[in-house]
Amino acid sequence: MLKRMIWMLVITGVVFSLIFGYKAVGNYFMNQFFDNMPVPPVTITASEVQADTWTDTVPAVGSFRAINGTMLPAQTQGEVLEILFQNGDMVEQGQRLFVLESSVEEAERDRLAAMLEIAESEAERLLPLRERQEVSESELRRQQSQAAQARASLAMQDAMLARKVIRAPFDGVVGLRQVNLGQYVTAGTEMVSLQSFDPIYLNFTLPEQHLSHLERGQRIVATVDAFTDQEFIGEISATEPSVRESTRTVEIQGQFANPDSRLRAGMFARVSLDIGEPREVKMVPRSAVQFNPFGNLVFVIEEGDDDTLVVQQRLIRTGQSRGDMVEVLDGLETGERIASSGLLKLRNDATVQINDDPDLQPAQSTNPQPANR
């Protein structure tokens, strides 16, 4: 019985040894196969490090403001008798816009004019009498004073009548009128908006460190959402003399020609302001750079054995970005070829093949203009 058990244990050990040995030999040869198996080349697109001339720009956002803009109020009470414009009309300075009913005021003016005529006539009658010593000096002066008072009353009445006509204080475009014919208005009632659009102001702010680069007449480029395919060119007209302590920014005002009135007060604008002198830069597509906390990487394409192409990972230092391109400060030279897509499939010494299909190339524009769809 004991010998039988010993033989069973020996046989079991031999069987398990054979199984584990077979498994180990199989794993060894399998690992050898995968380690020595040729890796197919990775298909990528390639770009060259390009040279370009850039001028440093400062981005900002701002809002357009009318050079002259106001809501015209009624200056006195009265019934709206005439409306002498159409909504949206271009009007000139001094042009009549509204006329209020003024029959009572005109009658009062006639009365004051008659009183002035009588007072002046009486003063003229007393003047030769005073020369002949037939009336006193005080009586003549009193009559002349009454004439002056009548003249002042008439002038005040003329000013009140002038307030019955609302005129455009400057050239501009009227908006939507807020009153109707026959409506009774009081002093301060808003009548219509008037805005002057040509030229037009653009107000924006910049950090105080850029203050030394700003000067009157400096070129400004602005874009608005209403006209995405157009850039508007203006210039700096004024700079706020003080810096805001809360934000450490300085407010700047630009001026833009606006003959077709495309730009309107209150529009949001994206501003680009050139600072400094033009400089030579090296640039690569954004898609060619792996941005990491420890540094930015690219894969440089080099020739390997047997005329194959391999990539080597290289650490670079980047600068400003502009559109689809990023500036390279250090790590690459102009003309070197780098992988511009397929980076996630790459590693050091990986064999690659380049697909030159232009439809697969990533965008490489410093001023991309995507089409609206």
Low-confidence spans in the chain with pLDDT less than 70:
1, 29, 32-39, 126, 130-131, 134-135, 369-373
Q: For position 36, what pLDDT does the model report?
A: 60
92 belongs to a structural domain: no
Q: Diameter of the chain by CA atoms?
A: 176
The tokens of 297 are what? 């990487």
Q: For position 171, what pLDDT does the model report?
A: 86
Cα angle for residues 96, 101, 107 (degrees, 5° grid): 115
Q: For position 34, what pLDDT does the model report?
A: 57
Residue 241: give its domain's CATH number. Answer: 2.40.30.170
Q: For position 315, what pLDDT does the model report?
A: 92
Cα angle for residues 136, 142, 148 (degrees, 5° grid): 140
342 belongs to a structural domain: yes
pLDDT in tens, 77-118: 888 998 988 898 888 888 999 999 888 878 888 888 888 788
Q: For position 268, what pLDDT does the model report?
A: 92
**Sequence-ordered alpha helix ranges (H) in 132-182:** 137-162
Q: What 3-state DSSP class applies to 289?
A: coil
- Torsion 286-289-291-295 (CA) sign: negative
Structural domain of 129: 102-163
Q: For position 63, what pLDDT does the model report?
A: 92
290 belongs to a structural domain: yes
Report the C-alpha gap between 326 and 287 in whole angstroms: 9
β 190-207/57-73 pair status: antiparallel
285 and 355 inside one domain: yes
42 CB neighbour count, 10 Å cutoff: 19
Q: For position 75, what pLDDT does the model report?
A: 87
- Predicted TM-score (pTM) of the model is 0.59
205 and 62 inside one domain: yes
Report the C-alpha gap between 221 and 269 in whole angstroms: 10
Contact 258, 243 (CB under 8 A): no
Would you give the end-to-end CA distance of the chain in angstroms? 90
Instruction: Tell me the sheet residues that pair with 58.
Output: 273
Q: Which of 256, 274, 292 is the last residue of a domain?
A: 274
**What is residue 176's DSSP assignment?**
-
Report the C-alpha gap between 272 and 254 in whole angstroms: 12
Residue 346: give its domain's CATH number. Answer: 2.40.420.20
Report the C-alpha gap between 30 and 104 in whole angstroms: 113
